[in-house]
């Protein structure tokens, strides 16, 4: 919480134009005396970017946590299961096959979003279909990885046959950024991310039961199939929405649940769900802040997330014997 | 608390039950056929059988996870598959040896999960629930570890925590699939004794599968022997032991049940036989053990005799011998000639 309070203004403060702290404060407090150019930059660009980071970070982290518990595997996350790649494929089809160069109009946003949701939903449907045949979570995870490879190769093929402009805009989108959402579209993004996050809190009880594995959860009266369907639907929706608006952002969904467990010292979802959402927001804000540090432009988010996440993940793997939540 | 007050009530009944798998639409593979047994409150049933004999399949069918091929499982007179999810979770609790992601929960939180069949939408525990959880933790003797993470427990403690979780579920029936696998001897005995007390003092009806013959023979009210040919032999331990029924567990294997010791041993068909004359049962047991290990069988109608005079004194072939190793070398020498 404190980290958000510090990082949020920090994100508003940095960028290619230097704006003094006092001016930022004036603008945020609605002081009419503030510099108009500064006001446009802060309100139209930096504020939506920081808010997008907060929402996207929470959304991806919650998706990661739910998938880790669903698949009983600490390495599950939207990108490993192929859900991100599925949405990427949907976006690629929209961008490369139908649009070529994507405009900035509302129509193109809606079509990219539709592509992402449809892509994620298809991968999700395949995973669900397999989950009725394959009961083993690890095998299901491997199927997810295979689907991810399939989608990647489809994307490569699309790229190969597409125009140069199309490839360029797709590659830029694929680098990931939090600055693609304008202030007037922010409410749509907020509703589409916050609603599934709140829904996930309602699944706290079955999620805790699932920590014991599906056999125990079943014995505790949990409807495994219905719960699994809800979990996969919510996490796919979260992934698809963030992917459509910000690009396929990796590693946050994998790393943040671990950070939350380590910091809050529990696997109990009634604590872990809000903790993960908050930590996800903090990490995304941190990435957002770092990405704005360059004076020449915005550094792609996907160039920053691995630098933060991989040391954490390697630390966890090396120290797993000493980390309290590993058996 | 008196175990006898519960013992009359029948809680579970297998009625012509056939368990197995559907291979496809038309063919099935029967694992165990036409079982007719019942379980009463306060009984501890140990199910013994070879790997793959169908113990786990039977346990899954009894707990309603798997449908029977024929016949029925009745709990309190009603078919197990007719109960709703929540009703069933208040009747049967299960303990497996599965790996879980629960290491990051405290013992208290883990046992608290056992209250899920009774709690509301968010699973919040009431004061009553907390009391039941503490009692369950106390019953398995883990009160001093209640606030510790599950990952910090030893294997034996973890198994006790899982049993406490089953207790918190407050079900009349507890089913455990090999609860003592992977445990050291001390934890194995403690766990079995704990389960015995839960049946005897608290009136729980407990079914467990096990490979631990000696503990099962000591503590089970009844045994269910799963034979290699798809039969279930149900009976009081002593009846089954004295009738030689235990030998039907591994019919095609090279092991024999020794009713005097109460465990299985490698079958010996050596031609080296001696008569062991011995008065003290303890010495008799251990010197027989030494002879068997050296491929020598003891029978009463052997030509040569070994007489045991004391802990270190033997008479063999008319000569007095001191010490067990000297006796064994003398016997070896004798059979080599």
Q: What is the ipTM of this complex?
A: 0.84
The model's confidence at residue A14, banded by pLDDT at 50, 70 and 90, is low
**SS3 (DSSP) at B320:** strand
pLDDT digits (tens, 9 = 90+) for A277-317: 999 999 998 898 888 887 777 788 888 999 999 998 898 88
- Average of per-residue pLDDT across A177-183: 82
What is the rounded CA–CA span in Å between residue A259 and residue A238? 20
Instruction: Note whether residue A325 is domain-resident.
Output: no
The Cα-based distances of A40 to A17, A297, B82 in angstroms read: 12, 17, 66
Instruction: Note whether residue A209 is domain-resident.
Output: yes
Measured distance between the N- and C-terminal CA atoms of chain A, rounded to whole angstroms:
29
Output the six-digit token pair for B222: 């009844």
Instruction: Note whether residue A326 is domain-resident.
Output: no
The answer to whether A204 contacts chain B (CB < 8 Å) is yes
- CB interface of B with A, residues 183-242, below 8 Å: none
Collect all residues with Cβ–Cβ distance below 8 Å to B269 and sequence separation of at least 6. none
CB contact under 8 A, B149 and A325: yes
CB contact under 8 A, A205 and B103: no
The answer to whether A221 contacts chain B (CB < 8 Å) is yes
Determine which of A44-53, A170-179, A209-218, B315-324 has the lowest per-residue pLDDT on average: A170-179
pTM of the predicted structure, to 2 decimals: 0.86
The answer to whether B24 contacts chain A (CB < 8 Å) is no
The Cα-based distances of A64 to A73, A78, A202 in angstroms read: 11, 6, 16
Of B63, B100, B152, the CB nearest to A211: B100
Collect all residues with Cβ–Cβ distance below 8 Å to B172 and sequence separation of at least 6. B11, B41, B91, B203, B204, B205
Q: According to the model, what pLDDT value does residue B251 have?
A: 83
| Residues from chain B contacting residue A222 (CB–CB below 8 Å) | 85, 116
CB contact under 8 A, A209 and B116: yes
Q: According to the model, what pLDDT value does residue A24 have?
A: 73
Q: According to the model, what pLDDT value does residue B7 have?
A: 47
Instruction: Note whether residue A11 is domain-resident.
Output: yes
Q: According to the model, what pLDDT value does residue A5 have?
A: 66
Interface residue of A212, A217, A219 to substitute, partner B, most B CBs within 10 Å: A219
pLDDT averaged over every residue in chain A: 84
| Residues from chain B contacting residue A70 (CB–CB below 8 Å) | none
Phi, psi angles (nearest 5°) of residue B253: -105, 165
**Three-point CA angle B64, B68, B70, nearest 5°:** 145
What is the rounded CA–CA span in Å between residue A12 and residue A25? 10
What is the rounded CA–CA span in Å between residue B296 and residue B273? 6
Say which DSSP state B113 is in: G
**Three-point CA angle B148, B97, B209, nearest 5°:** 130
Say which DSSP state A46 is in: I
Look at residue A53 and tell me whether its pLDDT is greater than 80: yes
| Residues from chain B contacting residue A270 (CB–CB below 8 Å) | 122-123
Instruction: Note whether residue A282 is domain-resident.
Output: yes
CB contact under 8 A, A212 and B116: no
Of B92, B102, B121, the CB nearest to A205: B121
Under 8 Å CB pairs connecting chains A and B tally to: 99
For B102, which residue in chain A has the nearest alpha carbon?
A: A211
CB contact under 8 A, B116 and A222: yes
Instruction: Note whether residue A260 is domain-resident.
Output: yes
The model's confidence at residue A171, banded by pLDDT at 50, 70 and 90, is confident
Report whether A232 contacts A124 (CB < 8 A): yes
Report whether B306 contacts B277 (CB < 8 A): yes
Output the six-digit token pair for A71: 């698949």
Domain of A41 in residue numbering reads as 2-318
Look at residue A235 and tell me whether its pLDDT is greater than 80: yes
Number of domains in chain A: 1
Report whether B226 contacts B57 (CB < 8 A): no
pLDDT in tens, chain B (337 residues): 444 454 468 999 999 999 998 888 888 888 999 999 999 999 999 999 998 888 999 999 999 989 999 999 999 999 999 999 999 999 999 999 877 888 899 999 999 999 999 999 888 999 999 999 999 999 999 999 999 999 999 989 999 999 999 999 999 999 999 998 888 899 899 999 999 999 999 999 999 999 999 899 999 999 999 987 888 999 999 999 999 898 888 888 888 888 888 888 887 777 888 999 988 889 988 998 899 888 888 888 888 889 999 888 999 888 899 999 999 999 988 888 7
Handedness of CA B209, B211, B216, B217 (dihedral sign): positive
Of B99, B109, B116, the CB nearest to A220: B116
For A209, which residue in chain B has the nearest alpha carbon?
A: B113
CB contact under 8 A, B122 and A69: no
Instruction: Note whether residue A183 is domain-resident.
Output: yes
Instruction: Note whether residue A213 is domain-resident.
Output: yes
Q: According to the model, what pLDDT value does residue A64 have?
A: 94
Q: According to the model, what pLDDT value does residue B3 have?
A: 45
What is the rounded CA–CA span in Å between residue A275 and residue A3? 13
What is the rounded CA–CA span in Å between residue A86 and residue A248? 10
- What CATH code is carried by the domain that includes residue A22? 1.10.3470.10
Handedness of CA A96, A100, A103, A105 (dihedral sign): negative
The model's confidence at residue A245, banded by pLDDT at 50, 70 and 90, is confident
What is the rounded CA–CA span in Å between residue A241 and residue A113? 7
**Three-point CA angle A180, A184, A189, nearest 5°:** 60
The answer to whether A171 contacts chain B (CB < 8 Å) is no
Interface residue of A68, A199, A220 to substitute, partner B, most B CBs within 10 Å: A220
Say which DSSP state B279 is in: S
Query: What is the CA A20 to chain-centroid distance, rounded?
Result: 31
Which uninterrupted H or E stretch holds A282?
Answer: helix A269-292
What is the rounded CA–CA span in Å between residue A34 and residue B118? 59
Q: In degrees to the nearest 10, what's the CA dihedral of A252, A253, A255, A256?
A: 90
What is the rounded CA–CA span in Å between residue B337 and residue B332? 9
Strand partners, B19: B32
What is the rounded CA–CA span in Å between residue B228 and residue B31? 10
Collect all residues with Cβ–Cβ distance below 8 Å to B211 and sequence separation of at least 6. B48, B178, B181
Crossing angle of helices B155-168 and B127-139, rounded to 10°: 140
The answer to whether A222 contacts chain B (CB < 8 Å) is yes
What is the rounded CA–CA span in Å between residue B60 and residue B23? 17
């Amino acid at each position: 919480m404190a980290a958000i309070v510090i990082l949020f203004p920090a994100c508003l403060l940095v960028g290619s134009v230097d704006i003094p702290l006092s001016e930022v404060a004036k603008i945020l407090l609605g002081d009419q005396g503030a510099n108009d150019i500064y006001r446009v930059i802060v309100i139209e660009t930096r504020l939506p970017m920081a808010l997008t980071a907060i929402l996207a970070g929470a959304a991806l982290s919650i998706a990661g946590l739910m998938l880790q518990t669903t698949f009983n595997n600490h390495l599950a996350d939207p990108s490993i299961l192929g859900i991100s790649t599925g949405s990427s494929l949907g976006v690629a089809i929209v961008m490369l096959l139908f649009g070529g160069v994507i405009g900035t109009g509302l129509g193109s946003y809606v079509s990219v979003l539709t592509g992402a949701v449809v892509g994620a939903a298809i991968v999700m449907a395949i995973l669900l279909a397999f989950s009725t045949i394959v009961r083993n979570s690890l095998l299901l995870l491997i199927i997810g990885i295979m689907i991810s490879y399939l989608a990647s190769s489809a994307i490569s093929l699309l790229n190969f046959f597409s125009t140069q402009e199309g490839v360029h805009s797709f590659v830029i989108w694929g680098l990931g950024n939090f600055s693609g959402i304008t202030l007037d579209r922010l409410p749509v993004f907020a509703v589409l991310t916050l609603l599934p996050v709140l829904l996930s809190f309602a699944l706290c009880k079955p999620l805790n039961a699932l920590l014991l594995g599906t056999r125990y959860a079943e014995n505790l009266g949990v409807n495994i199939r219905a719960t699994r369907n809800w979990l996969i639907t919510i996490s796919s929706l979260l992934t698809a929405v963030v992917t459509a608006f910000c690009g396929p952002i990796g590693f946050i969904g994998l790393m943040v649940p671990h950070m939350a467990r380590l910091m809050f010292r529990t696997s109990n979802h009634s604590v872990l769900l809000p903790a993960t959402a908050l930590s996800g927001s903090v990490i995304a804000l941190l990435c957002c802040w770092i990405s704005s540090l360059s004076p020449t432009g915005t550094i792609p988010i996907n160039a920053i997330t691995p630098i933060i996440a991989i040391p954490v993940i390697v630390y966890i793997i090396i120290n797993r014997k000493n980390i309290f939540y590993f058996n | 608390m008196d175990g006898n007050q519960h013992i009359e009530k029948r809680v579970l009944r297998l009625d012509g039950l056939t368990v197995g798998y559907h291979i496809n639409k038309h063919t099935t593979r029967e694992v165990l056929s036409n079982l007719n047994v019942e379980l009463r409150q306060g009984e501890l049933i140990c199910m013994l059988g070879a790997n793959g004999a169908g113990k786990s399949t039977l346990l899954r069918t009894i707990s309603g996870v798997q449908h029977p091929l024929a016949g029925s499982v009745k709990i309190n007179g009603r078919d197990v598959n007719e109960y709703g999810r929540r009703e069933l979770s208040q009747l049967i609790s299960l303990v497996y040896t599965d790996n879980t992601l629960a290491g990051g929960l405290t013992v208290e939180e883990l046992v608290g999960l056992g209250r899920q069949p009774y709690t509301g939408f968010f699973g919040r525990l009431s004061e009553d629930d907390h009391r039941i959880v503490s009692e369950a933790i106390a019953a398995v003797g883990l009160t001093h570890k209640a606030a510790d993470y599950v990952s910090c427990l030893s294997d034996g403690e973890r198994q006790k925590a899982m049993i406490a979780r089953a207790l918190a579920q407050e079900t009349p029936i507890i089913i455990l699939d090999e609860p003592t696998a992977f445990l050291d001897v001390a934890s194995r005995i403690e766990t079995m004794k704990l389960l015995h007390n839960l049946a005897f003092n608290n009136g729980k009806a407990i079914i467990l599968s096990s490979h631990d013959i000696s503990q099962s023979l000591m503590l089970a009210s009844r045994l269910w022997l799963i034979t290699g040919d798809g039969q279930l032999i149900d009976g009081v331990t002593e009846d089954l032991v004295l009738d030689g029924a235990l030998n039907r567990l591994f019919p095609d294997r090279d092991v024999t049940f020794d009713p005097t010791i109460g465990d299985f041993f490698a079958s010996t068909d050596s031609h080296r036989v001696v008569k062991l004359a011995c008065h003290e049962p303890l010495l008799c047991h251990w010197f027989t053990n030494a002879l068997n290990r050296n491929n020598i069988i003891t029978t009463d109608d052997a030509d040569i005799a070994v007489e045991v005079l004391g802990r270190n004194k033997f008479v063999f072939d008319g000569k007095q011998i001191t010490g067990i190793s000297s006796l064994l070398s003398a016997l070896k020498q004798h059979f080599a000639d």
